[in-house]
Amino acid sequence: MAVYFSPAKINLFLRVIGRKSFGYHEILTPMVALSFGDEVSVGVSSSDSFVCNVKEISGSSNLALKALDLFRQKTGVTTPVTISLKKRIPVGSGMGGGSSNAATVLFALNQIFSVGFSSEQLASMGAHLGSDIPFFFSLGEALCSGRGDVVTTLSEGSIEIAKRFLLVFDNRGVSSDAAYQAFSAKYSPSTENLFELAKNDLEDPVFSFRQDLCRKKKFLQETFSESQVVMSGSGATLVVFSPSRLEEKTPLIFEGSPLRYALAEKIVREKGSWYQSNNFSYN
């Protein structure tokens, strides 16, 4: 079987700038791919099989399996395949884990069966499954708008992008639906200073029902006073930009318990190939 790295993404900022008539919120957000992520193995087999190390997402609703079904609908290829998914990106973390897995499966199947879809075609296919999927067919850094599915290449120097990030995880994820419902209940779309780094319009709505995340952000701001801290996507991961004075395996104690975290770097991919990550730390 071929093994592929399936990267996490983070949002350098996220602004909610409107709401479409069909219910989706319109956003503006630059995303970057990271050296932290999952591992997806795909290969031809005698019968279909799917294995995942996280039981709660191992059913037919998994986006990796939906990507397989979509690929078959578009191509007519019915050859049985085995997909093995080793999850490291926490569920409900705001880092696009499921979307990354789906994009990786689409890329892998396109290669294995020599279909010849372009990245743009694969991105268009993936948009039917999830708004974040098209981003992963960029080269690893892009400005995303619409529902997040309209992907524009960032011009060089247009946004300051840190090269190293601290990802602080949480044992409880936050669903995108809950985050946007909380936003709709009390908040209005942004119209000014839209390109403010480390500004996430979903933070206050999420913090309204997850006060523990609000306290954790304050702790990180005090610990890394020289760095910007922001929630990624709809939560629940908090991201510290360019953290200093932190070595691998250094304990971060918050409210009496050690935090789970990973140190990661921004990565890009070459046209025609997929993302690569030789190593990353996971605490």
Reported as a single tens digit per residue, the pLDDT across 135-147 is 999 999 999 999 9
Q: How far is it, in rounded angstroms, from Cα 165 to Cα 219?
A: 16
Angle, CA of 67, 68 and 70, to the nearest 5° = 65
Paired tokens of 211: 């006060």
Paired tokens of 1: 């079987």
Q: How would residue 248 be classed by pLDDT, with cut points 50, 70 and 90?
A: low
DSSP letter string over 223-277?
Answer: HTTTS-EEE-TTSS-EEEES--S--TT---EETTEEPPEEEEEEE---TTS----
Burial class, 270, CB count within 10 angstroms (exposed 0-12 / middle 13-18 / buried 19+)? exposed
Q: Above 90 in pLDDT, residue 199?
A: yes
Q: Which of 9, 66, 216, 217 is catalytic?
A: 9
* Closest-CA residue to 143 (of 157, 159, 130, 165): 159
Q: How far is it, in rounded angstroms, from Cα 248 to Cα 130?
A: 33
The predicted structure's pLDDT at residue 229 = 98
Q: How would residue 281 be classed by pLDDT, with cut points 50, 70 and 90?
A: low
**Per-residue pLDDT tens digits for 208-241:** 999 999 999 999 999 999 999 999 999 999 999 9
- Rounded to whole angstroms, what are the CA distances from 51 to 39, 110, 138? 12, 20, 27
The predicted structure's pLDDT at residue 21 = 64
- 9 part of the active site: yes
The predicted structure's pLDDT at residue 57 = 84
- 132 part of the active site: yes
Burial class, 208, CB count within 10 angstroms (exposed 0-12 / middle 13-18 / buried 19+)? middle
Q: Which of 38, 132, 170, 201 is catalytic?
A: 132
* Closest-CA residue to 130 (of 112, 119, 116, 146): 146
| C-beta separation of 9 from 52 below 8 A | no
Q: What is the dihedral of CA 170, 146, 190, 162, to 10 degrees?
A: 50
**Per-residue pLDDT tens digits for 153-175:** 988 778 989 999 999 999 999 99
Q: Above 70 in pLDDT, residue 84?
A: yes
